[in-house]
Structure 1
Amino acid sequence: ELKLKEFGFEIYPIEATFIPFPNGKYLFLWNDAQKAAQEIERFSPRDAKAYLEFVQFLDRVAKFMEPLLLKPPPIPLLPDYSEP
């Protein structure tokens, strides 16, 4: 523990990322998928729909991966290293 809070460390959540384009147009990519899709829709309704589908896919992948990422890694020297 580095006790960062004692030294004034704070985390400020970022709600959106601002993406400027050379032609003067811009895009706010919000953490909220619906708001992000509304922004994307200004450029392409098809891409906005695909973005929402992609976010749903990532949510399913994250639910599958989370338990695996939270487990300790296997010990390869054990005869059956699938169970530590």
Structure 2
Amino acid sequence: MAQILVRNIPDETLAVYRERAKRNGISLEQEIRNLLEKNRPFTPEERVAFSRYMRSQTKKNSPPLTLDEIREGLE
């Protein structure tokens, strides 16, 4: 497995992760590994699969949004 070294982490940030690790009954190192794995970017294949899943969950007969509805949602 690969390793990384992260420098200059604010003391407050590290304290939060230490406390979280303690509550979870795991090491700080494992807490950070869990954090990295949970927040890793999707692979292209995962992105396609997720998009297909989300599309399958929407109503098939609903009309597409109008340009005004899209703009309103962005505000």
User: TM-score w.r.t. structure 2 length?
Assistant: 0.27
Structure number having the greater strand percentage: 1
User: TM-score w.r.t. structure 1 length?
Assistant: 0.25
